[in-house]
Amino acid sequence: MLRVYFLVGMAYVGLCLAAIALHAPPAPAPMPARPPHVIPVATSGATWFETVRPHCNALEVETQQRRTPAPRDNEGAAYSAACYALGGKIAHAHAVLDSMPAQARAWAAGIVFDVGHPVADAGDNESAGPIMRLVLDYQPDNYMALYHAGMAEWTLGDRERARTHLIAFRRLYSANDFFGTSADSALRAMGEE
């Protein structure tokens, strides 16, 4: 009789274990493999840019943009151009801006300006000069781009372009603050006042 109770008890334990197994959640599926060094495409150009910004330099910018392309919309293109510009690849930045719809180019150049302007405001007009000239190709009346481009050209000894940009800057910007007096000093040195 003891043997019957033992067999019934074992059958009961077996049934309980089978019921538990049937109600247990399935094992998680393995994560799909992702190619190395590929960052998922961001949902916005600004988000993408913040991710790749450390690589927007002369050595890495082209490789980074191939490896991690910007979103395929106007915002993504604008930030892609800004990244190329920061990396000193002005021809690449021009190509990106020129590939955009004509009505979006000036707006996109504004994003390039916003990205490059802190470099100029930190006092490095020489490095920011090519970025500012790029911006002027699409926003010819951007007075701060005129100022920074002019001061960069003055620093580099390109008096003709410096004169052209600084005179245009002073036509648009009448304040006699730091920017106005700096432009006036450069123009005086060139014999323009």
16 in any annotated domain: no
> Which two structure tokens, joined as six digits, stand for 138?
């699409």
Please tell me the pTM assigned to this model. 0.76
Domain residue limits at 82: 43-189
Q: Residue 78 domain-assigned?
A: yes
Does a structural domain hold residue 157? yes
Q: What is the CATH number of the domain that holds 84?
A: 1.25.40.10
133 belongs to a structural domain: yes
User: 104 vs 29, 41, 75, 115, 141, CA distance in Å?
Assistant: 44, 22, 9, 17, 16
- For the segment 130-160, what is each residue's pLDDT rounded down to a tens digit? 999 999 999 999 999 999 999 999 999 999 9
pLDDT at 15: 53
Residue 17 lies in a domain: no
Is 35 within a domain? Answer: no
The predicted pLDDT at position 72 comes to 94
Residue 20: which residues within 8 A CB-CB, separation 6 or more?
none
Q: Who wins on pLDDT, 36 or 57?
A: 57
Number of domains observed in the structure of the chain: 1
**Residues 71-127: pLDDT tens digits?**
999 999 999 999 999 999 999 999 999 999 999 999 999 999 999 999 888 888 888
